Amino acid sequence: MRSILSGLLDTVLDASVVFSFDRNGYRRHARRFDPKDLDVDLSGKTVLVTGANSGIGKATVRGLALFGARVVMLCRNEARGREAADEVGAQTGSRALEVVSLDVSDLGDVRRVAAALSGEPVDVLVHNAGVLPDRRVTTLDGLELTLATNLVGPYLLTSLLLPALERARGRVVHVSSGGMYTQRLDVAGLFRGGDEPFDGVVQYARTKRALVVLSELLAERLAGNGVTFSAMHPGWADTPAVRTALPRFHAVTKAILRTPSEGADTVVWLAASQVAGGQSGFFWFDRAKAATTPVPRTGETGEERAALRAALAEAAGLDLAAPTAARTGPGRKRRTRGS
């Protein structure tokens, strides 16, 4: 009786969203975690984490460093990256933290870093870097900044590192957001130019929805190559991004936000646990599979998924889901900043 009641209470609290995404939700969900899942030794494994100097990315580095992994911290600002590496090194005793400068929104920079890292096996690639700007900014590649950072850059990086991931039978983890539940896949909206008013929150949610669909597409198309693709959302964690991009939300919720480590817990679990290995194409929240379309009319059609694949292939100049020989294409023409 007691367990039926507690199961019912869990269902009600999870449906409330607030008491699921918040820190009480994490602590309630954590009661079902199996500590043995993370009884792992990652010595000799190479993990790449984007946006590794702050918030959930830094907490992910800390979590994986504690298991002995060599962590390559991909940070757009090298000085901030080194500061974070020193801090995590002091906390964990790890001497296997490296900082590599990478601006994920700059496709040329993604190609440069991928070329430097592709010679050795990559066991885990965590796409954590993310932005939520309040106005339209256009990158040198002619892409809107949120789209470039949260979706196209990660897509290109995975594409270029695929042989290195295949060699290690590696794992790719996409950090999405619960905000994606508010939007259905809208490829035209994602790639729309400056002819319409810009809504940063909507564009952010669109990129995060598309990231989850991308993870599913890659898992489906590349099934059999040994690489596991996962997407997750961290709930609501108190990080610089939330403080600066959503100040009103932060002011109201700060007492109940998760710590960055609680937000990063499922990333670490997907990257490191035996049980998550080989489970490809799922969306996760607090170490459990989560629905992607609980809100009516947010599911996409097969044509819309194909449109996403085509748009990403054009933007990045590479069709990851095509057979190897047909993968490279002309790519997008570079433009100057602000055009």
Residues interacting with ligand NAP, by CB under 6 A?
50-51, 53-57, 76-77, 80, 102-105, 128-131, 149, 175, 177, 233-234, 236-237, 239-242, 263
Nearer Cβ to ligand NAP (57/170)? 57
**Which pair of tokens denotes residue 161?**
């590192």
Closer to ligand NAP by Cβ: residue 55 or 170: 55
For the chain, how big is the Rg over CA atoms in Å? 19
Q: At what angle do helices 153-168 and 107-117 cross, to 10 degrees?
A: 10
Please state the closest distance from residue 77 (CB atom) to ligand NAP, in A: 4
Contacts 24+ apart (CB under 8 A), 295-302: 295/181, 295/182, 297/184, 298/181, 298/183, 298/184, 298/209, 299/184, 300/184, 300/185, 300/213
Helix (H/G/I), strand (E/B), else coil: 212: helix
Q: Residue 186: name the closest of 333, 308, 70 by CA.
A: 308
Query: Which tokens belong to 233?
Result: 């959302």
Choose between 54 and 230: whose C-beta lies nearer to ligand NAP. Answer: 54
Q: Which is nearer to ligand NAP, 46 or 239 (CB)?
A: 239
CA gap 242, 248 in Å, rounded: 9
187's tokens: 């490829």
**Alpha carbon of 90 to those of 31, 35, 302: distances in Å?**
30, 25, 49
- Least distance CB 192 / ligand NAP (angstroms): 20
By C-beta, is 20 or 50 nearer to ligand NAP?
50
Name the residue nearer to ligand NAP (CB basis): 267 or 307.
267
Residue 334 Cβ, how far from ligand NAP at the closest point, in Å? 17
Burial class (CB in 10 A: 0-12, 13-18, 19+), 90: exposed
Nearer to ligand NAP, 164 or 211 (CB): 211
Rounded least distance, CB 206 to ligand NAP, Å: 12
Q: What distances in angstroms separate CA 128 from CA 1, 125, 326, one per listed residue?
A: 41, 9, 29
Count CA atoms closer than 13 A to 2's CA, side-chain side: 0
Catalytic residue numbers, as ranges: 204
Minimum distance from residue 126 beta carbon to ligand NAP (Å): 10
Smallest separation, CB 331 to ligand NAP (Å): 19
Q: Please check whether residue 211 is in contact with residue 154, taking contact to mean a CB–CB distance below 8 angstroms.
A: yes
Q: How far is the CB of 50 from ligand NAP (least distance, A)?
A: 6
Helix (H), strand (E) at residue 159: helix 153-168
Task: Specify the length of the chain in residues.
Answer: 339
